[in-house]
Amino acid sequence: MAKKATQIKFTKMHGTGNDYVYVNCLKNKISDGSELARAVSGRHFNIGSDGLILMETSEKVGIRMRIFNADGSEAEMCGNGIRCVAKYVYERELAPIGGSFSVPGQPDCGASMEIETGNGVLTVGLIVDEEDKVQRVCVNMGEPVLESEKIPVNLPAKTLIEQPMQFENRVFAMTCVSMGNPHAVFFRNDLAILDVAKFGAVIENHSIFPDRTNVHFAEVNTPTEFEMRTWERGSGITLACGSGACAVCVAGVLTGRCERVCSAHLPGGVLELNWCQEDSCVYMTGPAVEVFEGSFDWPVK
Which positions are catalytic? 78, 241
The answer to whether 214 touches 200, Cβ cutoff 8 Å, is: no
Assess contact for 12 and 22: CB atoms under 8 A. yes
Relative to beta strand 225-232, strand 282-287 is: unpaired
Say which DSSP state 300 is in. Answer: -
CA atoms within 13 A on the CB side of 173: 10
Q: Mapping DSSP to helix (H, G, I), strand (E, B) and coil, where does residue 237 land? A: strand
Other beta carbons within 10 angstroms of residue 218's beta carbon come to 26
In whole angstroms, what separates CA 250 from the centre of its chain?
15
> What ranges in 92-234 are assigned the alpha helix state H?
196-204
Task: List 125's β-bridge partners, or say none.
Answer: 112, 138
- Evaluate whether 250 touches 282 at the Cβ level (below 8 Å): yes
